[in-house]
Amino acid sequence: MLDDLDFHTAKALLDWQIELGADEALLDAPVNRFEVTDSAPKSAPPVTAAVPSEAALVPEVDPVDAARQMAAAADSIEALRAAMEAYPHCDLKMSAKQLVFADGVPGARVMIVGEAPGREEDLQGKPFVGPAGQLLDKMLAAINLDRTKNVYITNMLPWRPPQNADPTQTQLDMMRPFVERHIVLAGPDVLVLMGNAACQGLLGRRGIMRMRGQWEEVLGRPALPMFHPAFLLRQPIMKREAWADLLALQARLKGQP
């Protein structure tokens, strides 16, 4: 392969070696190049400077920085979806059936950010369509909200984690630029952060038991942490707190503090 290198490529490789400090080739014993080859020490074969492979010359990509650049380049929700489909650095897409992007009405006053798709979401390609989604629809209907009319829904992760595992910090960091860009493009008045992963991804902290019902701010928009409907299915006694949060959301939409 080295014989095929042109002058400029070969020189660049040598310069790279020199910058690393490899400016001499040493043996265990001196070799007189004018003598017969057989007289050279046989215990120490010639040392050649290692030539980096083509892959080694390619700088390592920062997945978060790549996500930030791809998200920023998306000038529409459709372009953002295409960018997320093309994003190659999240290993979740290898095990998921498909990307779960969003559901509802882009531009609605309320945008809900959940955690990650489950089995039903992975099969249908829409967020919140399983049992937790059915409960969410009932919760929204109680304050005159409907995903087909005035609500937009997405998740922090667009691909289902294996066995519905909790999103990792690395996964949330990679997808946060896309979610933030999604919020900007959708332009909601109010955000609802459902569950710990949504709070961790957009607020940088967890603790939904303490955070729920306390208004926060994300990208200049009011954001309300709430219990995830899946949690309420496991802990129905907490529905009273969820109802209080829904009333707080309704009051904010009506212009009340």
Model confidence over 219-236: pLDDT tens digits? 999 999 999 999 999 999
Three-state secondary-structure class, residue 50: coil
Predicted local distance difference test score (pLDDT) of residue 175: 98
In this structure, the number of other CB atoms found within 10 A of the CB of residue 36 comes to 7
In whole angstroms, how large is the CA radius of gyration of the chain?
Answer: 28
Q: State how far the Cα of 119 lies from the Cα of 100, in Å rounded to an integer.
A: 11
In this structure, the number of other CB atoms found within 10 A of the CB of residue 99 comes to 17
**What are the tens digits of pLDDT across the range 185-209?**
999 999 999 999 999 999 999 999 9
Q: What angle do CA 178, 181, 185 make, to 5 degrees?
A: 135
- β-bridge partners, 153: 103, 112
Question: What pTM was estimated for this model as a whole?
Answer: 0.77
Q: State how far the Cα of 183 lies from the Cα of 198, in Å rounded to an integer.
A: 13
pLDDT, block means (10 residues), the chain with 257 residues? 60 65 59 55 54 58 96 98 97 95 97 97 96 97 97 98 94 98 98 98 96 97 98 97 97 84
* CA atoms within 13 A of residue 130's CA, in its CB half-sphere: 16
Amino acid identity, position 38: D
Predicted local distance difference test score (pLDDT) of residue 26: 58
Predicted local distance difference test score (pLDDT) of residue 100: 98
Predicted local distance difference test score (pLDDT) of residue 241: 97
The CATH code of the domain at 63-253 is 3.40.470.10
Using CB atoms within 10 A of its CB, is residue 253 exposed (0-12), middle (13-18) or buried (19+)? middle
Whether 74 and 184 have beta carbons less than 8 Å apart is answered as: no
Predicted local distance difference test score (pLDDT) of residue 61: 86
Q: State how far the Cα of 197 lies from the Cα of 199, in Å rounded to an integer.
A: 5
Three-state secondary-structure class, residue 112: strand
Predicted local distance difference test score (pLDDT) of residue 161: 96
In the chain, residues under CATH classification 3.40.470.10 are 63-253
Q: Which two three-digit tokens encode residue 186? A: 């959708």
